[in-house]
Amino acid sequence: MTFKILNALIAIVAGVGGALILYYLLNKLVEMLPSKTEERIKPFVFIGPAFAAIAVFLLYPAVRTIILSFADRDSSEFVGLSNYTDLLASPNFRDTLFNTLLWIIIVPAVTVALGLGVAVLADRLRPGPEKLSKTIIFLPMAISMVGAGTIWRFIYEARPEGRTQIGLQNAIVTAVGLDPVVWLQESGFRLNSFFLMVILIWAQVGFSMVLLSAAVKGVPTETIEAARIDGANEVQAFFRVVVPQIWPTVVTVFITVTIGVMKVFDIVYVMTNGNFNTNVIAVDFYNQLFTNGNAGYASAIVVMLMLAVVPIMVYQVRNFREQEATR
Amino acid sequence: MRARNTTRLALVATSTLLLAGCLSDGGGDGGSGGDAGGDGEVEVMYGFANEQSDAFIEEVGAWAEDEGINVKFSPTPDFDKLVRSRVQGNNLPDIAIFPQPGITLDIARSGKLADLRDVLDMDALEESVVPGILDAATDEEGAIYAAPMSISVKSLVWYPKGPFEEAGYEIPETHEDLLALQEQIKTDGITPWCIGIESGPATGWVATDWIEDYVLRVGGTEGYDKWVKHEIPFDDPMVQEAAGYVEEIWTGEGNVLGGQGSIASTAFATAANPMFDQPPGCMLHRQASFLALPGSFPAEVIEDLDNRAGVFQLPPIEAGESPVLGGGDIAGLFSKDDEDSIKVLEYITGEEFGGWVETSGYISAHTGFDLSQQPNETMKEISEIAYGATDFRFDGSDLMPGEVGAGSFWREMVAWTNDSKSMSEALTAIEQSWPAS
Amino acid sequence: MTAISTGVPPTPVKGEKRARKVMGSDGGPGSGQKRAGKLVKSVLFVICLLWIVPVIGLLVTSLRTADAANSTGWWTAIASPLDFTLNNYAEAADRGGMAQAFVNSMAITLPATIIPIMIAAFAAYAFSFMHFPGRDALFILIVSLLVIPSQVALVPLLQLYGNFGLNGTFPAVWLAHIGFGMPLAIFILRNYMASLPKELIESAKIDGASHFQTFWRLIIPISTPALASFAIFQFLWVWNDLLIALLFIGPGTNAPMTVQLAGLLGAQGQGWHLITAGGFLTMLVPLIVFLSLQRYFVRGMTAGSVKG
């Protein structure tokens, strides 16, 4: 056991140290170059290792995926665009797309709004309560998905009418005299999808709170004081002074959450596996690949996801350029 | 020159990093893989956990120590998907114990599984095990890719022993008897059946077992096999007839505790438990042998299983036949040239192996198995049901393509249970979802 | 940890004018105004209550037997705490080989958190402050890879690792997490760095600092909040990751806690009561990390120190 711990320690030190040495040496070497060449090469030294990691772990698989998306289910023959046309023609997949769209519309907005709300409100508490409330909001992020799945089962669980309810929501519903509802199978108005979204929001608000809280605390007090002196009330000061200054962070958080939502997987997989009309893209992908063994459909789904995100990225870069120009 | 130095330094730095990691490996078991063969270690990958895994490790471990074989046990959650990934990634175990034959045959297509006819004495095995069980992992050319290690029985109906006997009920011999019993229980003011098919992501599979059980009864093994292989349409009249039997029980007024509407939301694992309430919430529950393990029946019932719970075979349509639907763990071999691996495979698929049934709730596939090793009468009875089977068939949904067997079949059964589709609409929808190729 | 609103002296940064007052600290000297009114408190209280109910549910369930949890609601058990049992914890720890698994989890998570942050910080610096051809295109490419589900890469990686005999080793998981976490790390850090004032870099340049020096001495210290935020998330993801560890390490001597825990769940879902206990055990470390890194989210260490 001690041997094991020692080994782990060596692994940690050598792993981290090795990476550090790599940068140090690379930098030293580049600095030996004539300064013009140095200027030109240096950016690539800085992004090189990151890009190498991305190339191996994401780019190569992505390119492979794009190619496979034009091939049949066991990747033995090219079939042109038929994976795409088949998928888009299938009502099940259109439902999946619609569900994913609902997730994208609702979850990021709610997560950012709640996270910002908590960050701003908690900022006004004494240090003790502030820390406590933030820790509570953060808690769900620390729970592994299997654990979270288990507990939400005890919230949504439904027992037949007349038997003891062990799901919290149905206990409340039956206590006020209504019939128990099978929440996760209730697909009218996509109700069950909303209940799944609640879980993701519950898990993700901690993320947006942490980032936004750092930003809110970065807003210089003077600017707010100035607004107050000009006669602005709290709410006005918040929207006219605080929000513009933290806007870049809000956008970052919003996009990050959006991207997380686009590939939301665990929650749906664990709770319903996409049944009862709750399917989303990432779960569909996973099941196409590993349950149905259909590499063609699976790849085509991922490619559509990649295409869907490009507009967001273009917006992001344009936004960045504008900021640069105005600075 | 400089550029070359850079590369070299980068290489050095990277390799320190990797080296350090390999150090951490301790046992140096990185890169263990089936194709390595003769690496002095036999990796056995399987999907069961807890008591089963403990008992398995204990028995196989003790034997391997005597034989001087080093066995690495890899109990793996989400087995089906991970074994696929490991095969695609060419990171093979030496032996894999599959929970169902569909995935075995699928993987056999990659050519990486050994044809066991070259390795084991198949004729002797065929003699010894429950009839029909070897067919499951046999391909069109007759190659056999897996041998059974243990089986489970699905065609079982459980009942609360005390109340059942007190009321003077008799064990039904035919479907007609079963329906008569159902009416008798109703007349006595008790709801006959407890049925639950909720299973989180896999909700619906219990319903597919019911349908399969009756397809096996109506169509016989021949019809059943054709249906599973899609040689007849999924909604063939024979299947419609079989589904009708299920429908009669599930949708009949007052037949099911909580009514038909509650079936899809009742968790399968604990659905039977109202049987043991005072007075009993129901008298009958059809489910596989695993119910007698912790996690399903209440702990007090498991402790006194023989006195609290009774079990009979889901009756055939006509007296005399004895079809059994079941499942099993079947072992396949990736390292065809590794003697140690072959020895392990021979051992775990042999008749002698099975001391672990005492805690695992499993049944040996060998009809000559010494039943005194079973921990209680109930498990002995279930074993005898299996060994007396005229036709043993594996769970058919496992053998169908994933789109159907783990997709539309579950989904449409739920839709039917929730009354949003009629049975024939559901069956037709499943037929339409069958992948083209 | 009183640092949060009494305001530790902010890291001295070029351009700092004076110690600043702290926004919204009630009772702090010079603030003179209590801003956390009843409304604020009750709104927060309600949100916190909603958030903690499922966690309490998990805790209570982990202290009950499986039979009890299956027969009555967990909230009813709070009334009779004497019935609580630690059996689930004992069994989860016992079967899961938790001591060994804990060491493994650490050995996996620490490098898989620190290394990518370092690499990403370099890249983010280049994307924010250096000019080179194809910069925006590269950035778009990297970030559009964010949406790739990591499952896509699993099979190719297994093959790749197989060639190098990496399967089952720690570096196999480190590298995978470095790769999968990289786009988000670059994205978050670059967005943060891009919000830093340009003059900061310019003035450093005028002082004759090289990029490397500017990066280490200036950018890294003032980027602490962003670095710490990302560190927390990467740590959480790696710590709670099941899929990658399962595939590239698998059960055995190198297995982390998540893999051991998942092994407790039987094929028919038996053993979920152990998962509730295990879920709590695995939660402790991330919480400690959060609480100890929280102080880096102090106001004043960020852009405001210069802008103000």
Q: Residue A47: list chain C partners with CB under 8 A.
A: 122-123, 126-127, 138
Q: Residue C159: list chain B partners with CB under 8 A.
A: 88-90
C69 Cβ partners below 8 Å, 6+ apart?
A: A154, A166, C61, C273
Q: Residue C169: list chain B partners with CB under 8 A.
A: 21-22, 24-25, 30
List the single best residue of C232, C247, C297, C298 to mutate versus A (max A Cβ within 10 A): C297
Burial class (CB in 10 A: 0-12, 13-18, 19+), A81: exposed
The whole-angstrom distance between B311's CA and the closest CA on chain C is 20
List the single best residue of A65, A173, A287 to mutate versus B (max B Cβ within 10 A): A287
What pLDDT was estimated at residue C31?
A: 38
pLDDT tens digits, B169-215? 999 999 999 999 999 999 999 999 999 998 877 888 999 999 999 99
Which of A143, A171, A205 is nearest residue C283 as measured by Cβ atoms? A143
Residues C282, C286, C287, C292, CA torsion sign? positive
Which of A133, A165, A282 is nearest residue C44 as measured by Cβ atoms? A133
From chain A residues 47-106, the ones with a CB under 8 A of any chain B CB are 72-73
Stated as kind and residue range, the H or E segment containing C36 is none
Three state DSSP letters for chain A: CHHHHHHHHHHHHHHHHHHHHHHHHHHHHHHHCCHHHHHHHHHHHHHHHHHHHHHHHHHHHHHHHHHHCCECCCCCCECCCHHHHHHHHCHHHHHHHHHHHHHHHHHHHHHHHHHHHHHHHHCCCCHHHHHHHHHHHHHHHHCCHHHHHHHHHHHHCCCCCCCCCCCHHHHHHHHCCCCCCCHHHCCHHHHHHHHHHHHHHHHHHHHHHHHHHHHHHCCCHHHHHHHHHCCCCHHHHHHHHHHHHHHHHHHHHHHHHHHHHHCCCHHHHHHCCCCCCCCCHHHHHHHHHHHCCCHHHHHHHHHHHHHHHHHHHHHHHHHHHHHHHHC
C184/A317 Cβ within 8 A: no
* Tens place of pLDDT per residue across chain A (327 aa): 677 677 777 877 877 788 778 878 887 887 777 777 777 778 888 888 888 888 888 888 888 889 989 998 878 889 989 999 999 998 889 999 999 999 999 999 999 999 999 998 888 888 788 888 888 998 888 888 777 888 888 898 888 777 788 889 989 999 898 888 888 888 888 888 999 999 999 988 988 898 888 888 878 888 888 888 888 888 888 888 888 888 878 888 888 888 888 878 888 888 887 878 888 988 898 888 878 878 899 999 988 888 887 787 777 777 767 766 665
A15/B265 Cβ within 8 A: no
Q: Check: CB of residue B194 under 8 Å from CB of residue B271.
A: yes
The whole-angstrom distance between C254's CA and the closest CA on chain B is 7
B24/A293 Cβ within 8 A: no
What pLDDT was estimated at residue A33?
A: 79
Enter the tokens of residue A263. Answer: 């590939």
B158 bridge partner residues: B285, B311
List the single best residue of C270, C274, C276 to mutate versus B (max B Cβ within 10 A): C270
Q: Residue C166: list chain B partners with CB under 8 A.
A: 30-31
Subunits with 3+ Cβ pairs within 8 Å of B are: A, C
The whole-angstrom distance between B341's CA and the closest CA on chain A is 27
What pLDDT was estimated at residue B389?
A: 87
* Tens place of pLDDT per residue across chain B (437 aa): 333 343 333 433 444 444 333 333 333 333 334 444 456 789 999 988 877 888 899 999 999 999 999 999 988 877 887 888 888 778 889 999 998 888 898 889 888 999 999 999 999 998 899 988 888 889 888 999 999 999 989 999 999 999 999 999 999 999 999 999 999 999 999 999 999 998 877 888 999 999 999 999 999 999 999 999 999 999 999 999 999 999 999 999 999 998 888 898 888 888 999 999 989 999 999 999 888 877 788 888 998 999 999 999 999 998 877 889 998 899 999 998 899 999 999 999 998 898 788 877 789 999 989 888 888 999 999 999 999 888 889 999 988 988 898 888 998 999 899 888 999 999 999 999 898 76
Q: How confident is the model at residue C298 (pLDDT cuts 50, 70, 90)?
A: low
C294/A56 Cβ within 8 A: no
The arithmetic mean of pLDDT across residues C98-120, rounded, is 86
Looking at chain C, the whole-number percentage of residues with pLDDT higher than 90 is 4
Which of A162, A185, A294 is nearest residue B264 as measured by Cβ atoms? A185
How many pairs of residues across A and B have Cβ atoms under 8 Å apart? 123
C213 pLDDT above the threshold of 70: yes
Q: Check: CB of residue C260 under 8 Å from CB of residue C93.
A: no
A220 interfaces chain B, CB cutoff of 8 Å: no
C144/A221 Cβ within 8 A: no
Which of B24, B78, B294 is nearest residue C170 as measured by Cβ atoms? B24
Q: Residue A156: list chain B partners with CB under 8 A.
A: none
List the single best residue of C169, C241, C259 to mutate versus B (max B Cβ within 10 A): C169
What pLDDT was estimated at residue A1?
A: 61
User: pTM to 2 decimals?
Assistant: 0.84
B23/A15 Cβ within 8 A: no
Q: Residue A324: list chain C partners with CB under 8 A.
A: 194, 198
Residue of chain B minimizing CA distance to C155: B89
User: What is the pairing mode between strands B391-394 and B323-333?
Assistant: parallel
**What ipTM, to 2 d.p.?**
0.83
A188 interfaces chain B, CB cutoff of 8 Å: no
Q: Looking at B171-180, C33-42, C110-119, C277-286, which range is the least confident one? A: C33-42
B195 Cβ partners below 8 Å, 6+ apart?
A: B206, B250, B256, B257, B263, B266, B271, B285, B286
B20/A10 Cβ within 8 A: yes
